[in-house]
Amino acid sequence: METTRQSQTGIRPDPEEIKELLEQNAHPSEGSQKKLEDAAGRGLEFLYDVPLQISVEVGRSRILLRDLLKMGEGSVIELDKLAGEPLDLYVNSRLIARGEAVLVGEKFGIRLTDVVSTSDRIEKLG
């Protein structure tokens, strides 16, 4: 059984393999329990410096190029979301959570109100 596949960004695990690994970690056997303890002893510190791109999406819209070129200062683009709907939080272009806009001093922030479940994120990998 092939457990990885080639993509434009390189080799990544098959979503089914990821599901199996998560299930094993939820109900570890003696052998896998020792592997988990060894990994826990090593920690995840080696991942702490991995850069991630985080973006918050207010909404989306499709317009014609001619309409875009006619726009100027003060133009309004209608988005697909209603006022008051949650904002979408993406990490490396993957939906991770939803939340609401907040002010943090003079800057905008997002207060998370709903985090996408691990199983939903895994399903969208494929």
Answer whether residue 22 shows pLDDT above 70. no
**CATH level 2 (architecture), domain 51-126:** Roll (2.30)
Q: What is the mean pLDDT of residues 36-62?
A: 80
**pLDDT above 70 as % of the chain:** 66
Tell me: pLDDT of 87 over 80. Answer: yes
* Residues 34 and 25: beta-carbon distance below 8 Å: no
- What pLDDT is recorded for position 7? 41
pTM: 0.57
Enumerate the domain spans of the chain.
1-45, 51-126
Q: Judge whether residue 70 has pLDDT over 90.
A: yes
3-state SS of 46-94 is HHCCCCCCEEEECCCCCCCHHHHHHCCCCCCCCCCCCCCCCEEEEECCE
What's the confidence (pLDDT) of residue 83?
87
